[in-house]
Amino acid sequence: KEKIIEIKHLTKYFDVGNGKVLKAVDDVSFDIFKGETLGLVGESGCGKSTAGRTIIQLYQATSGQVIYDGEDISQKKSAKESKKLKKKMQMIYQDPYSSLNPRMTVHESIAEGINNHEEQLSQREIESRVYGLLESVGLTKKHANRYPHEFSGGQQQRIGIARALAVEPEFIIADEPIAALDVSIQAQIVNLMQDLQLEKNLTYLFIAHDLSMVKYISDRIMVMYLGSMIELAASEILYDEPLHPYTQALLSAIPIPDPRMERTRERIILKGDVPSPINPPSGCRFRTRCPKAMQVCSEAVPRWQEVSENHFVACHLYDLEYISLVVD
């Protein structure tokens, strides 16, 4: 598989005053393959949105690298280079309404992106591109001259998607694109995103706070906790054989679709809230809430290791070196 993005030891720290530092993203490394959907999952405050924004260069990385098509894009760029990157990478937001300008018609909003990147197009060509985009997201020409507030939440998200697609990007970060929508609309938007992915050969990083919908859209899933990588595996593997106690807890919280079905997983209730990323726990960051925490968990940071092919986890329960120490 061909890599579109390689993320290497990426960190994003925020200075929050009084000499304190918020470690929103702390040493995260993974690859994204061309044409795949990688789900990025964790509770709010775990750093997934910050990771997305740092990858797409909305934030400057504190350290580490983001390699796009073989080129390191994490360093400061000239205006021209940044513009070129924006054409390749776009973002879809959780709240489509606030990401659209309320005073611009749908046509103006979508045309704005095209105008910024393709000065040579005539008004007529832009117009036909806007109509084409509206159609590809399930809207029509007659919606073009209306304003964002005239649309439902689902339609607004369709407009947000059309706007992201206007510059014909290759890679899209969708930051909880369905979290604010009615459940009945969520599947429609997910289906639309999947159709567009096939049609336009897109690569997605799909951010979500729980594991219920990502299963259907993701090829692989990365789970994060307090700025750190927890587990990464193919979607079905992560659902069938979750290794990390945090992943197990997230999965056990998914509602069962049919109440007559027996729950195969015992519900795991995590104690307490996510600790502050300003002062995270020593050793394993999950240890204050982990039902399986051991002595070593407060003493050593668990290593990120490949436990079986393409299945990675950071937890001492699977740390072979540690296990052999205990057995000896």
**Maximum pairwise Cα distance, the chain:** 76
User: How far, in Å, CA of 98 to CA of 308, rounded?
Assistant: 43
User: How far, in Å, CA of 5 to CA of 137, rounded?
Assistant: 26
> Residue 235 corresponds to which tokens in the numbers above?
């979607």
Collapsing DSSP to helix, strand or coil, 227 comes out as: coil
Cβ-count burial 299-327 (b if 16+ within 10 Å, e if not):
eeebebeebeeebbbbbbbbbeebeeeee
Stretch that binds ligand SF4, among 126-134, 161-169, 235-243, 309-317 (CB under 6 A): 309-317
Q: Are 167 and 144 in contact (CB under 8 A)?
A: no
315 interacts with, out of ligand SF4, Mg ion, none, CB within 5 to 8 A per kind: ligand SF4
Exposure of 87 in the CB half-sphere (CA atoms within 13 A): 11
For the segment 233-252, give every residue that binds ligand SF4 (CB under 6 A).
244-245
For the segment 43-62, give every residue that binds Mg ion (CB under 5 A).
49
- CB closer to ligand SF4 out of 3 and 292: 292
225 counts as binding ligand SF4 under rule CB under 6 A: no
User: How far, in Å, CA of 192 to CA of 183, rounded?
Assistant: 15
Binds ligand SF4 by CB under 6 A, chosen from 297, 304, 311, 312: 297
Minimum gap (Å) between residue 44 Cβ and Mg ion = 6
Exposure of 15 in the CB half-sphere (CA atoms within 13 A): 4
Question: Sheet holding 89-92: strands in order across?
Answer: 89-92, 171-175, 203-208, 37-41, 220-225, 228-234, 311-314, 304-308
114 interacts with, out of ligand SF4, Mg ion, none, CB within 5 to 8 A per kind: none
- Using CA atoms, how far residue 54 sits from 64, 73, 89, 127, in Å, is 10, 10, 12, 33
- CB closer to ligand SF4 out of 206 and 286: 286
49 interacts with, out of Mg ion, ligand SF4, none, CB within 5 to 8 A per kind: Mg ion
Annotate each residue in 249-288 with x if it binds ligand SF4 (CB under 6 A) or - if it does not, as one string: -----------------------------------x-xx-
For the segment 69-108, give every residue that binds Mg ion (CB under 5 A).
none
227 counts as binding ligand SF4 under rule CB under 6 A: no
Q: At residue 269, what are phi and psi to the nearest 5 degrees?
A: -95, 120
- CB closer to Mg ion out of 49 and 74: 49
Annotate each residue in 175-214 with x if it binds Mg ion (CB under 5 A) or - if it does not, as one string: ----------------------------------------
316 counts as binding ligand SF4 under rule CB under 6 A: yes
Residues at the interface with ligand SF4 (CB under 6 A): 244-245, 284, 286-287, 290, 292-294, 297, 302, 315-317
Residues at the interface with Mg ion (CB under 5 A): 49
